[in-house]
Structure 1
């Protein structure tokens, strides 16, 4: 299959918030262009998109050390006559053959893997089915089954196992750390709490505390290698729908840090999606020189202007995208502006489908 890359560029304003904390509880930050920016890690937004998959009923993988328990449960589900001891022994045999190391959790006594492992329900089902129907386990076949039937999140975000590299899955999606298009100044909320049952003649608070937060206009970016996604999913018919589901989740999801405190769930102000045949392009360099708010007009509009200017400038290095679809309430100077999110998805899906079909016709 020819190269096809999907770029997702998002500008999104957050009010007072702390959606992704560091080890001190402060919002994560980054230095870029010589100033401090608000930052949301790629891992945080990947987790948010995976949670969105689950909320929308899309089968998702398990990322856990409790793979032995999950596999044991699947064996018992497929063969109810199997006793617990035999299921446990069969589980250990399968994992050992696959090169996955286990240990006993000292706190619970439960058998767990030594590292977190990303595995889809379909892979667990296939491994259990194979083990129940074959007295002798073939290592190559087990490892092959351990890579087949990837759920969407596993196909997108990949899997890396140092002890068993044959089970590695190359990620089809790359997600950048989101950063603010402008400099931010950390702020602090000092708060107190009163004991509802304290006597009337007692003054003072029962609890004191403070929370660090900031507000920002974030630039968010992700890309999908369509050829890699096809390789991971193993079915051409899934490519367009899978890409569509990823766009939905990445654009609309948000990490849940301190949501109850700040209720900061917003929607994007601007979305630009490009389908390219040569290379993915992160346009963050538009904001290397931080955006300055014009008077009291905010950061969104000048951020859009800088992003679109950078898009135009980047075209001297790369081929024109097959499609550049945009959704925003603001004026734009590039691409095809869509009326709503559904039309944006349909436009991108139609162009992607045509590109995939043309590739099939040429082969």
Structure 2
């Protein structure tokens, strides 16, 4: 099987917003090309993608990342045997996780109940279901779920999000999962200066003339930008993690849809910043992934005649061709979904299609690459 990488390049304009805040509440930024850029961290967009998966995949194909592992497992045990009391189900769950070494019972409590892991633990829902069944079976046999059995059940039937984004378990490294997907921090193609919105709130019950002024005042920091977003999928690694070609195709199609259509929800009620990309460029390569951020090392400076989106599209198209010519990097296939005349230049890079056709076209290519019938 050939190595297959799927590179996803997105140009997306967002209005005044604060999609991803730092520890002071300010929009995250980065210096690139000598100027300050708007930035949205890869973690923020990966979480947005994971949340979007809920509308695209069955819940059994997804995972749960939580410290409240005892509570999650206890609910599943109780569902399997409704005759158990809540405390009995909690005790069984606690026993399973403490035996594995991934959670510790609270010594201050007389009974182990609702144990928590010391860090966020990422398990697929199928893995949790299997662990619940094994814990209940062990209890009925008068034993406990041992560490070896726990490892075996926690290292099979990975969910799509675990297969995509990986899993690191510090106390049980042999169930770690290498991520098949890499997501870059999105940055603006131009320089930005953060601005401040000074706002007031009026007390609805204070309407008399003697009471003047606002009930409260505050400020919200924001910026607006045209972002370059990039992600890459290693299809071979994804299939290894999922173990099934059909599941791999479904995961690829769900990721493309979620990555293009999702937006982090930071300050969403304040700014209503939900937009769709100006352009999505997807390329399949058999050599290595290529991030085309170099197109914007020189920041875009819009003019009266040409706005940021048009100039960004031209820069991306030009840089992509320059890199491919210089290194002999010809993609296996390229699809482009672009909105309007401003991004029309990107259509010259590959097949211009609707986004739905792009997703299905990539899916068909993945199926062919994995040697499965379409």
Q: TM-score, normalised by structure 1?
A: 0.92
Cα deviation per residue 1:4-40 (whole Å; 9 max; x = unaligned)?
A: 1111100000111111111111110001111000000
Aligned residue runs from structure 1 range 143-162, under 5 A:
143-162=151-170
**Contact 2:57/2:254, CA 8 A, preserved across alignment:** no
Give 2:359's match in structure 1, choosing from 345, 356, 362: 345
Aligned residue runs from structure 1 range 154-173, under 5 A:
154-173=162-181
- Residues 1:301 and 2:315 aligned together: no
Following the alignment from structure 1 to structure 2, what is the Cα–Cα distance between the partners of residues 158 and 269?
29
Following the alignment from structure 1 to structure 2, what is the Cα–Cα distance between the partners of residues 246 and 7?
12
Determine the structure 2 residue equivalent to 1:317. Answer: 327
Aligned-pair Cα RMSD in Å = 2.1
Determine the structure 1 residue equivalent to 2:82. Answer: 80
Determine the structure 2 residue equivalent to 1:91. Answer: 93
SS at match of 2:31: strand
**Contact 1:157/1:171, CA 8 A, preserved across alignment:** yes
Determine the structure 1 residue equivalent to 2:18. Answer: 18
Q: Which moved more, 1:344-353 or 1:236-245?
A: 344-353
Determine the structure 2 residue equivalent to 1:125. Answer: 129
SS at match of 1:237: helix
Q: 1:193 to 1:279 in 2, by over 3 A?
A: same
Determine the structure 2 residue equivalent to 1:27. Answer: 27
**Contact 2:245/2:367, CA 8 A, preserved across alignment:** no
**Contact 1:326/1:344, CA 8 A, preserved across alignment:** yes
Determine the structure 1 residue equivalent to 2:281. Answer: 272
**Contact 1:10/1:251, CA 8 A, preserved across alignment:** yes
Determine the structure 1 residue equivalent to 2:369. Answer: 355
Following the alignment from structure 2 to structure 1, what is the Cα–Cα distance between the partners of residues 282 and 266?
27
Q: Which moved more, 1:80-89 or 1:253-262?
A: 80-89
Deviation of 1:258 (Å) = 1.1
Determine the structure 2 residue equivalent to 1:41. Answer: 41
- Residues 1:195 and 2:208 aligned together: no
Following the alignment from structure 2 to structure 1, what is the Cα–Cα distance between the partners of residues 174 and 264?
32
Give 2:192's match in structure 1, choosing from 154, 179, 184: 184
**Contact 1:278/1:318, CA 8 A, preserved across alignment:** no
Give 1:234's match in structure 2, choosing from 240, 243, 254: 243
Following the alignment from structure 1 to structure 2, what is the Cα–Cα distance between the partners of residues 236 and 337?
25
Following the alignment from structure 2 to structure 1, what is the Cα–Cα distance between the partners of residues 93 and 246?
33
Q: Which moved more, 1:192-201 or 1:135-144?
A: 135-144
Following the alignment from structure 2 to structure 1, what is the Cα–Cα distance between the partners of residues 313 and 213?
48
Residue segments in structure 1 that go unaligned for 5+ positions in a row: none
Deviation of 1:97 (Å) = 3.6
Give 2:223's match in structure 1, choosing from 185, 194, 214: 214
Q: Which moved more, 1:119-128 or 1:334-343?
A: 334-343
User: How many residues matched?
Assistant: 358
Deviation of 1:52 (Å) = 0.9
Following the alignment from structure 1 to structure 2, what is the Cα–Cα distance between the partners of residues 133 and 111?
20
Q: 1:202 to 1:93 in 2, by over 3 A?
A: closer
SS at match of 1:281: coil
SS at match of 1:331: helix
**Contact 1:39/1:178, CA 8 A, preserved across alignment:** yes
Following the alignment from structure 2 to structure 1, what is the Cα–Cα distance between the partners of residues 124 and 21?
28
